[in-house]
Amino acid sequence: MALKIQWSKKADKSFDKILTYLLLEWGENVARPFVKKVFDFLDILSEFPELGTIENLEKGIRGFLIVKQIVVFYKITEKEIILLDFFDTRQHPEKKKY
């Protein structure tokens, strides 16, 4: 049974920030495939929630590399998957909260 995907405010904000950057710097021809990749991944994730690697065992946080520069962090509960953040891997590692 597929789990529901829930977006946290931080995940929503970071996704929008990345999308805005892609649209402004690279255009719709780059932004559109990125969005498709994210939503295709979320469809798969809802069926296979343990797909990502464990980033923080104590907090139950997993991560998955969507594209070369972007990792999505999420947490699995009994009824849903909570998207926590989209992280640009080109940032300093200490900015990674998980």
Task: Give the domain ranges of the chain.
Answer: 4-88
Q: What residues form DSSP beta bridges with 61?
A: 56, 75
> pTM for the full model?
0.89
Q: What is the pLDDT of residues 40-98, one digit of tens each?
A: 999 999 999 999 999 999 999 999 999 999 999 999 999 999 999 999 887 655 555 66
* CA distances in angstroms from 69 to 77, 88, 92, listed in the order given: 27, 5, 12
Strands 70-76 and 61-67: antiparallel
Please, what CATH class does the domain formed by 4-88 belong to?
alpha beta
pLDDT tens figures, 32-54: 999 999 999 999 999 999 999 99
